């Protein structure tokens, strides 16, 4: 079984077999922390809810704008506030960016109008913690549903 997995991974990723065997496979057998498990379950459930609501009534770009607005980024003024900066700095690569580089990163996201927009939505969503995600859902989805019902 493990030999098949190693062969499959090395074929698809072109990683050396010893790297897969020594570093990747042992990690897959470690039990993940309970907080991480809860976060993964919450992420998956909530992203499905977001997609079902937003893609039915609106579109992906509006969802991205709402996520940025929720994190206090104004699309009009394009000023990077502390809240969005804090969220973005949770990313291992973005944490080393200067404030100007983060702002350019956001501006480049706003220029995207293709399939990659969903990648950026998922990036911002996964960097938010469970509490932030729940507040977003309350403000943007549940309140919207109440408005649509009336």
Single pTM value for the model: 0.75
CA distances from 108 to 33, 57, 58, 101, 116 (A): 34, 25, 22, 10, 11
pLDDT band at 147 (very low <50, low <70, confident <90, very high): low
CB–CB of 60/54 below 8 Å? yes
Between the alpha carbon of residue 22 and those of residues 18, 25, 118, the distances in Å are 6, 7, 34
Q: What is the pLDDT of residue 86?
A: 93
Nearest to 63 by CA among 147, 121, 107: 121
Query: Which helix (H) or strand (E) element contains residue 64?
Result: helix 60-70
Question: H-helix or E-strand containing 11?
Answer: helix 2-13
pLDDT one-digit tens code per residue, 129-145:
999 999 999 988 887 66
| Separation CA 85–CA 95 (nearest Å) | 9
- What are 30-40's pLDDT values in tens digits? 888 999 999 99
- Chain mean pLDDT for the chain: 83
Q: What are phi and psi of 92, to 5 degrees?
A: -60, -35
pLDDT of 2 strictly over 70: no
DSSP 115: T
- Rounded to the nearest 10 degrees, what angle do helices 60-70 and 99-111 cross at? 160
């Amino acid at each position: 079984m493990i030999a098949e997995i190693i062969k499959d991974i090395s074929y698809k990723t072109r990683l050396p077999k010893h790297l897969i065997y020594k570093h990747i496979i042992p990690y897959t057998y470690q039990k993940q922390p309970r907080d991480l498990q809860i976060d993964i379950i919450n992420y998956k459930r909530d992203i499905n809810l977001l997609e079902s609501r937003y893609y039915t009534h609106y579109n992906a770009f509006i969802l991205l704008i709402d996520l940025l607005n929720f994190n206090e980024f104004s699309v009009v003024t394009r000023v990077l506030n502390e809240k969005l900066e804090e969220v973005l700095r949770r990313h291992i690569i973005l944490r080393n960016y200067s404030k100007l580089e983060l702002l350019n990163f956001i501006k480049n996201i706003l220029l995207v109008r293709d399939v990659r927009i969903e990648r950026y939505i998922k990036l911002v969503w996964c960097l938010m913690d469970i509490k932030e995600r729940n507040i977003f859902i309350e403000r943007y989805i549940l309140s919207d549903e109440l408005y649509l019902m009336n």
